[in-house]
Amino acid sequence: MILQAHLHSLCLLMLYLATGYGQEGKFSGPLKPMTFSIYEGQEPSQIIFQFKANPPAVTFELTGETDNIFKIEREGLLYYTKALDRETRSTHNLQVAALDANGAIVEGPVPITIEVKDVNDNRPTFLQSKYEGSVRQNSRPGKPFLYVNATDLDDPATPNGQLSYQIVIQLPMINNVMYFQINNKTGGISLTREGSQELNPAKNPSYNLVISVKDMGGQSENSFSDTTSVDIIVTENIWKAPEPVEMVENSTDPHPIKITQVRWNDPGAQYSLVDKEKLPRFPFSIDQEGDIYVTQPLDREEKDAYVFYAVAKDEYGKPLSYPLEIHVKVQDINDNPPTCPSPVTVFEVQENERLGNSIGALTAHDSDEENTANSLLNYRIVEQTPKLPMDGLFLIQTYAGMLQLAKQSLKKQDTPQYNLTIEVSDKDFKTLCFVQINVIDINDQIPIFEKSDYGNLTLAEDTNVGSTILTIQATDADEPFTGSSKILYHVIKGDSEGRLGVDTDPHTNTGYVIIKKPLDFETAAISNIVFKAENPEPLVFGVTYNASSFAKFTLFVTDVNEAPEFSQYVFQAKVSEDVAIGTKVGNVTAKDPEGLDISYSLRGDTRGWLKIDHVTGEIFSVAPLDREAGSPYRVQVVATEVGGSSLSSVSQFHLILTDVNDNPPRLAKDYMDLYFCHPLSAPGSLIFEATDDDQHLFRGPHFTFSIASESLQNDWQVSKINGTHARLSTRHTDFEEKEYVVSIRINDGGRPPLESTVSLTVTFCSCGEDGCFRPAGHQPGIPTVGMAVGILLTTLLVIVQTPYGMGGPSHHGHCPS
Average pLDDT of the chain is 86
CB-CB contact of 479 with 466 (8 Å): no
**What's the confidence (pLDDT) of residue 698?**
55
Comparing CA positions, the residue from 729, 782, 578, 765 lying closest to residue 661 is 578
Q: Over 50: is that where the pLDDT of 140 sits?
A: yes
H-run or E-run covering 720:
strand 716-720
Asked if 245-331 and 447-558 have one fold, the answer is yes
**Phi and psi of 807, rounded to 5°?**
-100, 10
Task: Answer yes or no: CATH 3.10.20.30 is held by domain 245-331.
Answer: no
Query: Which CATH number applies to 447-558?
Result: 2.60.40.60
Look up the CATH superfamily of 565-658: Cadherins (2.60.40.60)
Give 513-558 pLDDT, tens digit per residue. 999 999 988 788 899 999 999 999 888 888 999 999 999 999 999 8
Residue 644's pLDDT is what? 67
Pairing of strands 394-396, 402-405: antiparallel
pTM, to two decimals: 0.38
Catalogue the long-range contacts made by 413-419 (C-beta closer than 8 Å, 24 or more residues apart). 414/388, 414/389, 415/386, 415/388, 415/389, 415/439, 418/384, 418/385, 418/386, 418/393, 418/394, 419/384, 419/385
| Separate counts of helices (H) and strands (E) for the chain | 4, 57
Model pLDDT, residue 697? 58
pLDDT tens-digit series, residues 720-778: 988 889 999 999 999 999 999 999 999 987 778 888 999 999 999 988 776 776 544 44
Banded pLDDT at 649 (limits 50, 70, 90):
very high
Instruction: Please give the Cα distance from 85 to 91 (Å, whole number).
Output: 10
Cα-Cα-Cα-Cα dihedral sign, residues 65, 67, 68, 72: negative
CATH of domain 28-117: 2.60.40.60
Burial of 73 (0-12, 13-18, 19+ CB in 10 A): buried
pLDDT band at 795, cuts 50/70/90?
very low
pLDDT band at 157; cut points 50, 70, 90? confident
pLDDT computed for residue 696 by the predictor: 65
Phi, psi at residue 712, to the nearest 5°?
A: -95, -10
- pLDDT confidence of residue 781: 40
Beta strands 105-117; 34-39: pairing state: parallel
Are 51 and 96 in contact by the 8 Å Cβ rule? The answer is yes
Q: Look at residue 622 and tell me whether its pLDDT is greater than 50.
A: yes
Residue pair 115/35 in contact (Cβ under 8 Å)? The answer is: yes
How does pLDDT run across 429-465, given as a tens digit for each residue?
Answer: 999 999 999 988 778 899 999 999 999 999 998 899 9
Give yes or no for residue 167 having a pLDDT over 70: yes
Domain ranges within the chain, ordered by starting residue: 28-117, 125-235, 245-331, 344-440, 447-558, 565-658, 666-772
Asked whether 189 and 231 are in contact (CB, 8 A), the reply is no
Cα dihedral sign for 404, 410, 414, 417? positive
Beta strands in 443-494 (DSSP E): 448-449, 453-460, 468-475, 488-493
Statement: residue 506 has pLDDT above 50: yes
The one-letter amino acid at 40? E
In CATH, which of 2.60.40.60, 1.10.10.10, 1.10.3210.10, 3.30.70.1150 is domain 125-235?
2.60.40.60
Reported as a pLDDT band with limits 50, 70 and 90, residue 220 is confident
- Asked if pLDDT for residue 292 goes beyond 70, the answer is yes
Q: Homologous superfamily of 344-440 in CATH?
A: Cadherins (2.60.40.60)
Give the model's pLDDT for residue 114: 95
Taking the C-alpha atoms of residue 494 and residue 524, their distance in angstroms, rounded to an integer, is 10
For residue 558, give the nearest of 697, 447, 434, 463 by alpha carbon: 463
According to DSSP, residue 466 is labeled T
So what's the pLDDT on residue 799?
Answer: 34
Query: Which amino acid makes up residue 798?
Result: V
Answer whether 334's CB lies under 8 Å from 430's CB.
no
Are 320 and 196 spatial neighbours (Cβ–Cβ below 8 Å)?
A: no
DSSP state of 522: T
User: What type of residue sits at position 428?
Assistant: D
Higher pLDDT, 2 or 686: 686
Residue 265 has pLDDT above 80, yes or no: yes
Domain 666-772 in this protein, CATH class = mainly beta
pLDDT of 479 over the 90 cut: no
CB 218 within 8 A of CB 187: no
